[in-house]
């Protein structure tokens, strides 16, 4: 069945550096690509999402890029701060189905 | 606050017992999803309901069952509990389509001793 591969599983960056997390999927019908952030002991929360009719979306220090041809999408965090330390999950959804699949998560550590 | 509520917040029980976790979705949301998250693990999808009907099933054990009631709240029943069932159980809700944000509740932390 459909799944989404997320890499890396852990990522450590120095404060101020950029972080990139990538997810690869197989179903070309997938057309909704959200990213969730889960801080320690808390619930996952949506931080940004993109739909298949656009290639990039930005929200301050966070951006998501989508390459539908290659079937991958990425989360970019610039000027990382200690409060960006969390687990990040990608997910994907497909119109006309109830399918909503989460990636395996990336633990990001921002080192001060 | 996401608008999704879950009770109880914490639950401690013994092996072999049965528990019920409750979730109330955001106002207006028709879909409810249940996830299991073990320590340092990802989100394991269990089951989804839409307007009272089961819509998708993940890796849900036969010892587990769920339902969504006419008022749209949902319950997850876990029976014959084992030590390995200890985890954080999240409920999430959405408007219903697979192209919308899922709003997560605060979770129920289950400890099986």
* Cβ-based neighbour number of residue A75 at 10 Å: 25
| Cα B94-B49-B88 angle, rounded to 5 deg | 75
- pLDDT at A99 > cutoff 90: no
Beta pairing, strands A72-77 & A19-25: antiparallel
Is B97 an interface residue toward A (CB < 8 Å)?
yes
Residues from chain A that touch B98, judged by Cβ atoms under 8 A, are 32, 93-95, 97-100
Residue B45 to residue A102, Cβ atoms within 8 A: yes
Is B58 an interface residue toward A (CB < 8 Å)?
no
> Of B104, B102, B76, nearest to B91 (Cα)?
B104
- pLDDT at A2 > cutoff 90: no
Mean pLDDT, contiguous 10-residue spans, chain B (113 residues): 94 98 96 91 91 91 97 97 96 85 96 97
Residue A105 to residue B42, Cβ atoms within 8 A: yes
Q: What are phi and psi of A68, to 5 degrees?
A: -70, -30
Residue B98 to residue A89, Cβ atoms within 8 A: no
B65 forms beta bridges with B77
Q: For residue A7, what pLDDT is reported?
A: 97
CA distance B18 to B50: 25
Please compute the mean of the pLDDT values over residues A28-41 and round it to a whole number. 93
Q: For residue A18, what pLDDT is reported?
A: 98
Residue B45 to residue A103, Cβ atoms within 8 A: no
Residues from chain B that touch A32, judged by Cβ atoms under 8 A, are 98-100
Q: For residue A1, what pLDDT is reported?
A: 58
Q: For residue B74, what pLDDT is reported?
A: 98
Residues from chain B that touch A93, judged by Cβ atoms under 8 A, are 97-100
> Of A65, A42, A62, nearest to A54 (Cα)?
A65
CA distance A109 to A82: 8
Quick one: pLDDT band at residue A36, thresholds 50, 70, 90?
Answer: very high
> Of B49, B79, B74, nearest to B62 (Cα)?
B79
pLDDT digits (tens, 9 = 90+) for A50-65: 998 889 999 999 999 9
Please compute the mean of the pLDDT values over residues A77-105 and round it to a whole number. 91
Structural tokens at position B67: 């339902």
Give the helix ranges, DSSP H, for A17-60.
none
The answer to whether A64 and A54 are in contact (CB under 8 A) is no
Residues from chain B that touch A101, judged by Cβ atoms under 8 A, are 45
Residues from chain B that touch A105, judged by Cβ atoms under 8 A, are 42-43
Is B106 an interface residue toward A (CB < 8 Å)?
yes
Q: For residue B100, what pLDDT is reported?
A: 83
CA distance A104 to A91: 9
Give the helix ranges, DSSP H, for chain A.
none
* Cβ-based neighbour number of residue B47 at 10 Å: 22
Q: For residue B104, what pLDDT is reported?
A: 97
Mutate to test the interface with A, among B102, B103, B106, B108 (most CBs of A within 10 A): B102
Q: For residue B40, what pLDDT is reported?
A: 75
Q: For residue B39, what pLDDT is reported?
A: 82
């Amino acid at each position: 069945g459909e799944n989404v591969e997320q890499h890396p599983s852990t990522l450590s960056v120095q404060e101020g550096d950029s972080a990139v997390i990538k997810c690869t999927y197989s179903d070309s019908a997938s057309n909704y690509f959200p990213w969730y952030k889960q801080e320690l002991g808390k619930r996952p929360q949506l931080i940004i999402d993109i739909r298949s009719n656009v290639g990039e979306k930005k929200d301050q220090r966070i951006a998501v890029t989508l390459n539908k041809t290659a079937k991958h999408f990425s989360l970019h965090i610039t000027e990382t701060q200690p409060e960006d330390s969390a687990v990040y999950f990608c997910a994907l959804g497909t119109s006309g189905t109830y399918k909503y699949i989460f990636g395996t998560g990336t633990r990001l550590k921002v080192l001060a | 606050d996401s608008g999704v509520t879950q009770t109880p917040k914490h639950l401690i029980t013994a092996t072999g017992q049965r528990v019920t976790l409750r979730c109330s979705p955001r106002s207006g949301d028709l879909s409810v999803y249940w996830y299991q998250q073990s320590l340092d693990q990802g989100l394991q999808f269990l089951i989804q309901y839409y307007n009272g009907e089961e819509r998708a099933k993940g890796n849900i054990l036969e010892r587990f069952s769920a339902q969504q009631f006419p008022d749209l709240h949902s319950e997850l029943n876990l029976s014959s509990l084992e030590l390995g069932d200890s985890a954080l159980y999240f409920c999430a809700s959405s408007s219903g389509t697979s192209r919308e944000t899922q709003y997560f509740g605060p979770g129920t932390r289950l400890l099986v001793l």
